[in-house]
């Protein structure tokens, strides 16, 4: 449940307006007053209109002109808080005539309502946020409005997309990017104005799968492709050189082609440990499953989310393996299942 508690009654964790008169209540900002009033209106099934709104006061009244309900909030300068100074009412407007369409629910208000959920889990699906909104507000809110609200809430939590991109370099230290050699990616890494994508902050390495695919497409020779794989994944320079020499024997053109690829980007033995032994982007394809949902977030949120999610993932796996070891199991369940399947087949 979101918190619209008047600031002076902080112990009230979820304030229900209906239960008490609003007069005298104090809120942190005018925006919070407005959100509290919207919530009240949504719950009570009426709409209000703004009569006055400036730095000093906010006055709203029932949309039905013949109804006397109105509220005046003022800014208490010394304390820098907003106080409900006057309440007139009750409503005399006809509830049946009122539109039960929740028209007071704008995306800014909705963002406010949904922010705490999104803060907890930024990958919350729009569909599920629609259910949350329905549960909290008792109104069916459109998919689009929830989507819009999520954008706003994400911006409130993580900063907007532009700010987030500017913040990104702080999160990158000793990053290694393994990718294919798509021209679009090459352009980004060649652009030296993005200094955080240059060594020593970032090292760019090529995915060996993609390199081998390219060699195979060009020369269609399995032996050659296998040699390229062996050379690039060799752990000793001596082995790399020997295999590279073999490539020259098998196909001179391919050898020339590979010679033009910077060695440190291609071969494990010249990598200086940036790749942690990872030769392909396969590992990221695996993690894609784990990280699904992070994709729509601003870049820094994505990096943060990736960091925490992977930590949680490794922690979970570690605890599971420790538990299995402690219970005297020599093999993990995954491996054991494979053994059993093979045994059954044998």
User: What are the residues binding Zn ion (CB under 5 A)?
Assistant: 62, 64, 67, 69, 91, 93
Nearer Cβ to Zn ion (67/301): 67
For residue 245, give the 3-state DSSP assignment.
helix
Nearer Cβ to Zn ion (57/91): 91
Nearer Cβ to Zn ion (62/231): 62
Find the shortest distance in angstroms from Cβ 97 to Zn ion: 10
Orientation of helix 252-259 relative to helix 208-219, angle to 10°: 150
Nearer Cβ to Zn ion (15/40): 40
Find the shortest distance in angstroms from Cβ 42 to Zn ion: 14
Cβ-Cβ contacts under 8 Å for 254 (sequence gap 6 or more): 215, 218, 219, 221, 224, 228, 247
57-62/70-76 β-pairing: antiparallel
Q: How far apart are the first and last CA of the chain?
A: 57
Nearer Cβ to Zn ion (91/210): 91
Find the shortest distance in angstroms from Cβ 148 to Zn ion: 28
Nearer Cβ to Zn ion (22/178): 22
Find the shortest distance in angstroms from Cβ 92 to Zn ion: 7
Cβ-Cβ contacts under 8 Å for 256 (sequence gap 6 or more): none
Task: Please state the φ and ψ torsions of residue 84, each to the nearest 5 degrees.
Answer: -80, 110
Find the shortest distance in angstroms from Cβ 27 to Zn ion: 22
* Residue 273: DSSP 8-state: T
Find the shortest distance in angstroms from Cβ 5 to Zn ion: 25
Alpha helices in 45-191 (DSSP H): 107-120, 126-137, 143-158, 161-167, 183-190
Cβ-Cβ contacts under 8 Å for 222 (sequence gap 6 or more): 216
């Amino acid at each position: 449940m979101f918190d619209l508690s008047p600031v002076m009654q902080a112990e009230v964790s979820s304030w229900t307006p209906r239960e008490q008169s609003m007069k005298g209540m104090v809120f942190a900002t005018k925006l919070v007053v407005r959100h509290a009033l919207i919530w009240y209106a949504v719950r009570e099934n009426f709409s209000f209109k703004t009569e006055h709104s400036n730095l000093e006061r906010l006055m709203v009244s029932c949309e039905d002109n013949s109804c006397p309900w109105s509220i005046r909030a003022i800014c208490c300068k010394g304390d820098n808080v907003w106080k409900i100074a006057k309440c007139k009412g009750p409503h005399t407007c006809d509830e049946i005539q009122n539109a039960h369409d929740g028209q007071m629910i704008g995306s800014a208000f909705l963002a406010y309502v949904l922010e705490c959920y999104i803060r907890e889990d930024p990958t919350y699906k729009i569909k599920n946020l629609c259910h949350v909104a329905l549960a909290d507000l008792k109104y069916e809110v459109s998919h689009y409005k929830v989507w819009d609200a999520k954008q706003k809430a994400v911006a409130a939590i993580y900063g907007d997309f532009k700010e987030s991109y500017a913040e990104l370099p702080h999160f990158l230290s000793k990053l290694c990017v393994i990718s294919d050699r798509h021209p679009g990616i090459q352009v980004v890494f060649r652009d030296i104005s993005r200094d955080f994508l240059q060594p020593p902050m970032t090292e760019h390495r090529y995915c060996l799968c993609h390199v081998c695919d390219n060699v195979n497409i060009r020369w269609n020779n399995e032996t050659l492709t296998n040699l390229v794989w062996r050379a690039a994944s060799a752990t000793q320079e001596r082995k790399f050189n020997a295999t590279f020499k073999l490539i020259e024997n098998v196909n001179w053109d391919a050898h020339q082609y590979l010679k033009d690829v910077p060695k440190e980007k291609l071969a494990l033995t010249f990598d200086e440990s940036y790749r942690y032994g990872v030769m392909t982007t396969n590992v990221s394809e695996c993690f894609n499953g784990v990280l699904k949902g992070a994709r729509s977030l601003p870049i820094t949120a994505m990096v943060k989310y990736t960091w925490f999610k992977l930590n949680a993932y490794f922690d979970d796996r570690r605890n599971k393996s420790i538990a299995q070891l402690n219970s005297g199991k020599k093999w993990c369940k995954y491996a054991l299942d494979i053994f059993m399947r093979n045994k059954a087949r044998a």
